[in-house]
Amino acid sequence: MKKWLLAGLMILILIASGCVGDKTGKGNAGTQQKSEPIKIGVLITYTGALGPIGEGMANGAMLAAQEINKKGINGSNVTLIIEDTGTNPAKAAEAAKKLIDVDKVQVIIGAVSSSETLAVAPYAEKSKVVMISPSSTNLKVTDAGEYIFRVVASDLLQGEAIAKLAVAKNYTKAATLVENNDYGIGMEDVFKKNFNGTVTSVRYETGKGDYRTELDSIKKANPDVVIYVGYPQDASVILQQAGQLGLKKKWIAAEGIADPVMFKNTDVAAQMEGMLLTTPGRSEQEEKEDAIYKNFVELYKKTYGKDPGIYSDTEYDATMLAALAIADAGNDGEKIKNALPQISRTYKGVSGDKTFDENGDVRGGYKILEVKNTTMVPIGSWSPASGIGFQ
């Protein structure tokens, strides 16, 4: 297997090519005759509020499948069955039922948003089908069930990271502008507990198309900093309207919009200039020294002609962990669930350590980015052990 996975780690992962050539993951099975393909479900957000980052995440899963299928798994290829959830919990639940009841998958990579994952979890748990989310960060996911895993840290950590960043910048008066869902409210709660200043809370509904009322409330509160938690589709409208209203404030945003897709609109890009963002990951120096991560970025760019987006790396890791567990224990939900904790202890992820705890959670730190000339430039990092550090 690729040199960024430790020697011997992928011994059980066995070939073919082209099985992930389209969005269904059902493309050409290759010329060599193989056993029945192993189906892995993927819940992705090609549309809806998280639509702008869905393609990059799906690319991460498909890239992992391509690597797996160079050797295959015990004589079989992996076929990804990708379903678009529309960033909608109800649609995600229906898509998951289809994957479980019709496609008979034993493991699902997803869902993307926390609300979707929490909507899907009860049926996956009942059906004894494993879920590995690459991006659902809400605190409630920790207790969603023994078949529910995630390869990204809880907002218990990110909310603290944002609060500590605001304190480090000497902000004492904040306004939180968060989406009215599990992701936004959960992050807001953690931020408030860790921020030692005053906070004005503003929540918004997704997909409205006009957020001037919410922005006016923030303007009247006159905070030192706006803490934003939401998704690209709404964020683009909000930031453009903030510029139109002359809301010239410092902004700190969570990882939901830490993707270059935000710069497609020049007005939005101008409003984001100077914005700080937190995103799961290590410091720039740690990533530069990590051959596993560097090789992933090179392979992604070679395959797709651009840099990975937010959560492309965790989507890749979630897919790889699923394949390793299947190779080790067989394609059975309960066996996959039992194998994952041990597999995670030796797996070297492109996004860092992915060791699962007793709740299926991982720990981790956060990169701090600053928008400079339509580029998200790393300027520091935060971890539970070392706190805030600037480069």
At 220-260, the pLDDT tens digits run 999 999 999 999 999 999 999 999 999 989 999 999 999 99
pLDDT band at 34 (very low <50, low <70, confident <90, very high): low
Domains of the chain (ranges; CATH) run: 13-152+311-360 (3.40.50.2300), 156-280+367-390 (3.40.50.2300)
For residue 93, the model assigns a pLDDT of 98
Please name which of 263, 364, 350 lies closest in space to residue 298, comparing C-alpha atoms: 350
Q: What are phi and psi of 340, to 5 degrees?
A: -60, -45
Q: Are 85 and 91 in contact (CB under 8 A)?
A: yes
For residue 391, the model assigns a pLDDT of 85
The SS3 assignment for 318 reads: helix
At 77-104, the pLDDT tens digits run 999 999 999 999 999 999 999 999 999 9
What are the CA-CA distances from residue 239 to residues 33, 49, 183, 201 (Å)? Answer: 53, 15, 19, 17
Q: Are 277 and 371 in contact (CB under 8 A)?
A: yes
Q: What are phi and psi of 93, to 5 degrees?
A: -65, -40
At 302-322, the pLDDT tens digits run 999 999 999 999 999 999 999
Q: Are 219 and 247 in contact (CB under 8 A)?
A: yes
| Mean pLDDT rounded to a whole number for the chain | 91
Long-range contact pairs involving 138-146 (C-beta distance under 8 Å, separation at least 24): 138/114, 138/182, 138/183, 138/186, 139/186, 139/190, 140/114, 140/182, 140/186, 141/114, 141/117, 141/361, 142/359, 142/360, 142/361, 143/359, 144/117, 144/118, 145/121, 146/337, 146/360
